Homo-oligomer: A and B are copies of this chain.
């Protein structure tokens, strides 16, 4: 297995186990075994257990930011950017449904005082929104509030969908959410 493949395997195993059983209950030995490598190999790639979780968080966030921007750019006019963005985010969430619990796994991370998860997403939302304000498309509200509430609405939508994660529901939830976004932020 090439070194990159090993890193990939370890992250995949950790992602699955952390999401399934929780961070603390999962042992580094569990991760190594599930990845098909030795414990020592995990430690050569990630200095310790918190770092492994941090790497997963980072990657997950990068993916969400990526699809979010992609979706946003699909919409031609400003109000029409919401729907494709939300669809894109939910698509990613659907694809990675079983690892979504990772999002809740920050506070108990040992020594994570400085790790600010979701910050990249919140900042990205703030930027996209500000562009819309500059373009005269969105109402001018407090940008901090906007970013946090905007992000939270997506989170809430995802949790709503999680109560019944089927395709028909996906349509209902994303459409409702897009409508709420429009009502909330569009002039």
Interface hit among A32-40, A62-70, A107-115, A127-135: A107-115
Is A163 interfacial (CB-CB < 8 Å)? yes
Q: A108-B22, A176-B145 are in contact. Are A156 and B157 (CB under 8 A)?
A: no
Chain B residues with CB under 8 A of A107: 22-23, 101, 104-105, 108
Tell whether A25 is near chain B: CB-to-CB under 8 Å. yes
Interface size class of A (residues with CB under 8 A): 35 or more
Q: Which secondary structure dominates where chain A touches chain B?
A: helix
Is A27 positioned at the interface, with any CB of B under 8 Å from its CB? no
Note all chain B residues with C-beta closer than 8 A to A148: 156-157, 159-160, 163
With beta carbons under 8 angstroms apart, the residue of B24, B106, B142, B160 that contacts A110 is: B24
Q: How far is the CA of A74 from the CA of B144 in the complex (A)?
A: 28
Complex contact B110–A177 (CB within 8 A): no
A–B Cβ pairs within 8 angstroms, 10 of them: A22-B109, A23-B107, A23-B108, A104-B104, A108-B108, A144-B160, A149-B153, A149-B180, A153-B153, A153-B156
